[in-house]
């Protein structure tokens, strides 16, 4: 498995119903332990993710270390809009090979930020990273507890590949997108 250096910031132009936002308004910034935005990531994980997937201390420690995963925050000028976390290396898991694992993708303040194309921009950034790494596909797991995230992923080209786990509380799906 080869390692490629990734750009830690990326700028894109989101489209809205009113046209294009200024090219420099959306950026992706790498987040690590001493990053200004780490506290945003930490509080978001505790507030939004832990009730679905359990304690996030280990995941946050791995983000701090930055050894096996990268965390990026999407900013509109200086305002945080979303968070993505992905593995630094291509994975061979769940019968998939040469695949980038998307660990987390979420929109901050979805009541305000939904409907502007920001979720699609987060998925677009993951596609960019996957292509930089030479991946054939991107995959993630998603809980039935957050149906909106499954719908958003499917809107952005992901398909349900299989059910990984089923219990009385939730169904855990494996979602994949071929590049």
d(CA 148, CA 46): 19
Quick one: pLDDT at residue 1? 37
Quick one: pLDDT at residue 3? 36
Which region, left, alpha or beta, applies to residue 112 given φ > 0 means left and ψ of -120 to 50 means alpha?
Answer: alpha
Topology classification of domain 9-178: Aminopeptidase (3.40.630)
pLDDT averaged over 10-residue windows placed end to end, the chain, 179 residues: 40 46 76 89 83 80 89 93 96 96 93 90 97 98 91 96 94 97
Quick one: pLDDT at residue 119? 93
In three-state secondary structure terms, 105 is strand
Residue among 51, 43, 54, 139 nearest 91 (CA)? 139
Quick one: pLDDT at residue 24? 61
């Amino acid at each position: 498995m080869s390692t490629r250096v990734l750009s830690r910031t990326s700028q894109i132009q989101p489209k809205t119903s009113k046209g294009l936002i200024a090219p420099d308004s959306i950026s992706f910034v790498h987040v690590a332990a001493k990053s200004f935005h780490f506290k945003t990531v930490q509080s978001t994980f505790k507030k939004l993710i832990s009730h679905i997937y359990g304690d996030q201390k280990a995941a946050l420690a791995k983000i701090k270390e930055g050894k096996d995963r990268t965390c990026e925050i999407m900013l509109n000028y200086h305002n945080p809009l979303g968070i993505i976390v992905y593995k630094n290396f291509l994975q061979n898991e769940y019968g998939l090979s040469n695949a980038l694992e998307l660990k987390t993708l979420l929109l901050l303040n979805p009541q305000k930020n939904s409907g502007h194309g920001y979720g699609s921009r987060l998925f677009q950034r993951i596609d960019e990273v996957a292509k930089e790494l030479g991946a054939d596909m991107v995959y993630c797991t998603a809980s039935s507890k957050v149906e909106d995230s499954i719908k958003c992923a499917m809107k952005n080209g992901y398909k349900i590949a299989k059910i990984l786990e089923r219990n009385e509380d939730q169904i855990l799906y494996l979602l994949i997108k071929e590049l």
